[in-house]
Chain A
Amino acid sequence: MTSAGNLHFKTFLFILLMVVFGPLGNVLLGKGMKRIGTVQVTDLTSAGHLLAQILSSPTIWAGIASLLSFFVAYMLVLSWADYSYVQPASSVAYAMVALLAHYLLRETISPLRWAGVLIICLGVLVVGYTPPRTTEPR
Chain B
Amino acid sequence: MYHLILYILIIGAGTLGELCVTRAMKVVGEVKDFRPAAIVRVFARAVRVPWMWAGIALMATAFFSLLTVLTTQNVSLVVPVTALNYGAGALGGRLILGEKVSARRWVGVMVVCVGVAVVVLGGR
Which A residues are closer than 8 A to B by beta carbons?
A: 72, 75-76, 78-80, 82-85, 87-88, 91, 94, 98, 101, 107-130, 134-135, 137-138
Which B residues are closer than 8 A to A by beta carbons?
A: 18-19, 21-22, 25-31, 34, 39, 42-43, 46, 85-86, 89-90, 92-94, 97-102, 104-105, 107-124
- Describe A's contact surface by its main secondary structure: helix
Q: Would you call B115 and A83 a contact (CB within 8 A)? A: no
> What are the residues of chain A within 8 A of B34 when measuring CB–CB?
76
Contact A83:B99 (CB < 8 A) given known A94-B116, A130-B104: yes
From B39, B85, B93, residue with most partner A Cβ within 10 Å? B93
* Selected contact of B111 from candidates A112, A114, A122, CB within 8 Å: A122
From A84, A108, A123, residue with most partner B Cβ within 10 Å? A84
C-alpha gap A9/B118 in the complex (Å): 30
Q: Would you call A82 and B99 a contact (CB within 8 A)? A: yes
Q: Would you call A82 and B93 a contact (CB within 8 A)? A: yes
C-alpha gap A115/B29 in the complex (Å): 39
Give me 13 other A-B pairs in contact (C-beta within 8 A), A83-B99, A84-B93 excluded: A80-B31, A83-B22, A83-B89, A83-B92, A84-B109, A85-B99, A88-B112, A101-B124, A112-B123, A122-B111, A126-B105, A127-B105, A137-B26
